[in-house]
Amino acid sequence: MKTSLRGSLAAIFAYGTWGLFPVYFKLISAINPVDVIAWRVLLCFIFLFLVLLIWLRPAKFIRQLKSIDQWWLLLASAILLAINWLVFVYAVKTDQVLQSSMGYFLVPIISVGLGMLVFSERPNRLKLFAVVLAAVGMLLTFIVAGEIPWIALVLGITFGIYGMCRKKAKFDSTIGLFLETVMLLPIAILYLLFWTEPLSSFDTPTRNALYLLGVVTTVPLVAMLFAARRIELSALGFYQYITPSVQLVLAVLIYNETLDLVRTMALVTTLVAVFFWLCGSWVTLSQRRKRAQC
pLDDT category at 285 given cuts 50, 70, 90 is confident
Q: What percent of the chain has pLDDT over 90?
A: 53
What pLDDT is recorded for position 165? 87
Gap between the Cα atoms of 280 and 263, Å rounded = 25
Read off the pLDDT of residues 94-110 as tens digits, 9 standing for 90 and up: 999 999 999 999 988 88
pLDDT category at 158 given cuts 50, 70, 90 is very high
Question: Which position has the higher pLDDT, 75 or 285?
Answer: 75
Nearest to 259 by CA among 98, 144, 148, 88: 98
What pLDDT is recorded for position 233? 65
pLDDT category at 66 given cuts 50, 70, 90 is confident
DSSP the chain: --HHHHHHHHHHHHHHHHHTHHHHHHHTTTS-HHHHHHHHHHHHHHHHHHHHHHHH-HHHHHHHHHT---HHHHHHHHHHHHHHHHHHHHHHHTT-HHHHHHHHHHHHHHHHHHHHHHS-----HHHHHHHHHHHHHHHHHHHHHS---HHHHHHHHHHHHHHHHHHH-SS-HHHHHHHHHHHHHHHHHHHHHHTSPPGGGS-HHHHHHHHTHHHHHHHHHHHHHHHHTTS-HHHHHHHTTHHHHHHHHIIIIIS-----HHHHHHHHHHHHHHHHHHHHHHHHHHHHHHHHH-
What pLDDT is recorded for position 91? 97
Q: Average pLDDT, stretch 225-243?
A: 80
Q: Average pLDDT, stretch 28-42?
A: 97
Domain range list for the chain: 3-125+149-257
What pLDDT is recorded for position 293? 73
